[in-house]
Chains A and B, each alone.
Chain A
Amino acid sequence: MRITVLGAGPGGYVAAIKAAQLGASVSVIEETEVGGTCLNWGCIPTKTLVASAEVLHKARNAKDFGLELDGTISPNIQKIVERKNKVVGIQTKGIRGLFKSWGVNLIEGRGVIVNPKKIEVTKKDSLTEEVETDKIIIATGSKPAQIPIFPFDGMKILSSDNAINPESIPKSLLIIGAGVIGCEFAFIYNEFGSEVTMVEMMPRAVSTEDEEVSAILERELKKNKIKLLKDTKVEKVDIKKDSVSVQLSDGKTLETEKVLVSIGRSVNSKNIGLETVGVKTGQRGEIIVDSKMRTNIEGIYAIGDVVGGIMLAHLASSEGIVAAENAMGGDSAVNYDVIPAAIFTSPEIGSVGLREKQAAEKGLKYKVGRFQFRGLGKAHAMGEITGLFKIIAEEETDKVLGAHIIGPHASDLIHEVAIVMEKGLTAKDIAHTVHAHPTLSEGIKEAAEDVNNAAIHIPRK
């Protein structure tokens, strides 16, 4: 069986390795760099910037920990970007090494599907190569969506791709869109010294998260003196010599050095031959697939951001495994009910399953348990007491329906609940499990206990 994967991002490279493990002869076609957006312009680069910002923050607050710091500490953006590039380099090398070890053939160039059995690749040296295949997995991903009237210029109007490679720290940064990406960059640039203003058309920040989580994050934005203008749109942008003038729907005009546009991502489904072979796409160009990641064309699968929906690296990887297994004759499907998600704001956010509002909208009878990070000795020891654990369970069965954590290490903590949900376990199952002391994980236990009003470290209500 010959399988060709179009795109070597977190969806494509995982699909390729899985298919090779299952015995296929695999080629991967990649136009830019293995690892895709996640590794080169997304998850990993931003997390290295977050790490620099965190060390900076800790150093600036060293006296809270009884430490004396002589002199000042300031970000050196060139060095920070160098470190980021080094981290990314280690990861891309790792993927290339895995390809080699599993015998995956990496073809560097742009692939266009000619027919369901053939892809033509235009390589960097303009030579073309035809790849014969039995099955195709499309994993071409997405790119930052731009606003047509003021497209990215990389200088004053930035995309997230630009924002991870700054040459300098702008004095002021206006971020359009207070979603996941906008909020992550807001905390990073704020710590590096930019005066940050966010403009969001929705009534709250990270509007895909649980409302209580948004409220806590908004308070943290305020504490950090990051301005958030909600229910506000950008009407007009006037690019001047040294600044950008941004006119808002509330009538105000703001002057800013740079603008970061983080209004979402658009799928990469153009000019890859979909029309030629008749692969169906939806309104936003997303490839339409079934739960087994099959397109309407026999033998062509699609995974990751290009199929639209929730754009998460780890979801793309899961879909990649499912597509590879099915291409090899299996019968797999992704469980979309249990997809943990992480946001690397300060503090972090981790979530899985239903938001409370979704549970209510579905007409479910549910109960909610909460526990605050400030109730944990470990959080006080760490000096990071802001945050909340929230667990939602079904009223009758006690089965966990969702969990929302905002606080230090929330992105790691959430997975305990993800396993509980994957296995259909209850809040009482969590509560009955001994949790080590002193850890932040104790907060999950307390919140699970609170689902049934039995938390030890919450005063009588």
Chain B
Amino acid sequence: MYPENLRYHKEHTWVKAMGKNATVGITFYAQESLGDIVYIELPETGSTVESNTGLTEIESTKATASVISPVSGTVIEVNEELSDTPEIINEDPYGKGWIAVIEVEDDSDPDELMDSSDYEKYLEDEVKLK
């Protein structure tokens, strides 16, 4: 449920780094807690985003939530598929359900991100107890 090749943010987003480009999405836990996703506002390509701030908004039948960006940088690509079929985030949060590709700024610090085992531990120890 939490692939080892990804890094995780405490606000339940994941990032996959490919050189300067980072693909981001929401985690299995995030999509499961949100329930059926009915809409995601796609960020605009060319827009900039700071880590730990809202990249975009997501809506499910239960809630609306901010997608918190795990990295700082410029949005260079968005997953247009999601505009008509946002439910693929539920079906495949790490694959077809990716949200955006961000060209990462040099000074953004990926060290604050967790690996999959730390994230799973974080879910067990802190998140799910609440």
| Contact present for B63 and A372 (CB under 8 Å) | yes
Q: Nearest 3 A-B pairs (CB), nearest first?
A: A219-B41, A222-B41, A223-B39
| Contact present for A374 and B57 (CB under 8 Å) | no
10 A-B pairs in the complex with CB atoms less than 8 angstroms apart: A219-B41, A219-B57, A223-B39, A372-B63, A372-B64, A374-B59, A374-B60, A375-B62, A380-B61, A385-B38
Distance in angstroms from B42 CB to nearest chain A CB is: 8
Using a CB–CB cutoff of 8 Å, the interface residues on chain A facing chain B are: 219, 222-223, 372, 374-375, 380, 385-386, 460
Using a CB–CB cutoff of 8 Å, the interface residues on chain B facing chain A are: 38-39, 41, 57, 59-64, 130
From B35, which residue of chain A is reached at the shortest CB distance?
A: A374
Other CB < 8 Å A-B pairs besides A374-B61, A385-B38, 14 of them? A219-B41, A219-B57, A222-B41, A372-B63, A372-B64, A374-B59, A374-B60, A374-B62, A374-B63, A375-B62, A380-B61, A385-B61, A386-B59, A460-B130
Q: Is the interface of A mostly helix, strand, loop or mixed?
A: helix
Bound complex: CA of A103 vs CA of B10, how far in Å? Answer: 72
From A385, which residue of chain B is reached at the shortest CB distance?
A: B61
Residues of A close to B130: CB separation below 8 A: 460
Distance in angstroms from A65 CB to nearest chain B CB is: 15
From B57, which residue of chain A is reached at the shortest CB distance?
A: A219
Bound complex: CA of A223 vs CA of B61, how far in Å? Answer: 15
Bound complex: CA of A385 vs CA of B61, how far in Å? Answer: 7
Residues of B close to A222: CB separation below 8 A: 41
Distance in angstroms from A249 CB to nearest chain B CB is: 18
Residues of B close to A372: CB separation below 8 A: 63-64
Residues of B close to A460: CB separation below 8 A: 130
Bound complex: CA of A460 vs CA of B129, how far in Å? Answer: 12
Bound complex: CA of A24 vs CA of B59, how far in Å? Answer: 57
From A218, which residue of chain B is reached at the shortest CB distance?
A: B41
Bound complex: CA of A386 vs CA of B63, how far in Å? Answer: 10
Distance in angstroms from A38 CB to nearest chain B CB is: 35
From A386, which residue of chain B is reached at the shortest CB distance?
A: B59
Bound complex: CA of A385 vs CA of B38, how far in Å? Answer: 10
Residues of A close to B39: CB separation below 8 A: 219, 223
Distance in angstroms from A461 CB to nearest chain B CB is: 10
Bound complex: CA of A385 vs CA of B63, how far in Å? Answer: 10
Bound complex: CA of A374 vs CA of B38, how far in Å? Answer: 11
Distance in angstroms from A223 CB to nearest chain B CB is: 6
Distance in angstroms from B81 CB to nearest chain A CB is: 16
Bound complex: CA of A386 vs CA of B62, how far in Å? Answer: 10
Residues of A close to B38: CB separation below 8 A: 385
Bound complex: CA of A372 vs CA of B38, how far in Å? Answer: 15
Residues of A close to B61: CB separation below 8 A: 374, 380, 385
Residues of B close to A219: CB separation below 8 A: 39, 41, 57
Distance in angstroms from B39 CB to nearest chain A CB is: 6
Bound complex: CA of A136 vs CA of B57, how far in Å? Answer: 54
Distance in angstroms from A120 CB to nearest chain B CB is: 58
Residues of A close to B60: CB separation below 8 A: 374
Bound complex: CA of A460 vs CA of B62, how far in Å? Answer: 15
Residues of B close to A380: CB separation below 8 A: 61
Distance in angstroms from A13 CB to nearest chain B CB is: 43
Bound complex: CA of A222 vs CA of B39, how far in Å? Answer: 11
Bound complex: CA of A219 vs CA of B57, how far in Å? Answer: 9
Bound complex: CA of A249 vs CA of B121, how far in Å? Answer: 52
Distance in angstroms from B103 CB to nearest chain A CB is: 23
Distance in angstroms from B120 CB to nearest chain A CB is: 22
Residues of B close to A386: CB separation below 8 A: 59
Residues of B close to A385: CB separation below 8 A: 38, 61
Bound complex: CA of A367 vs CA of B73, how far in Å? Answer: 35
Interface centre among B38, B59, B60, B61 (most CB of A within 10 A): B59
Bound complex: CA of A223 vs CA of B62, how far in Å? Answer: 18
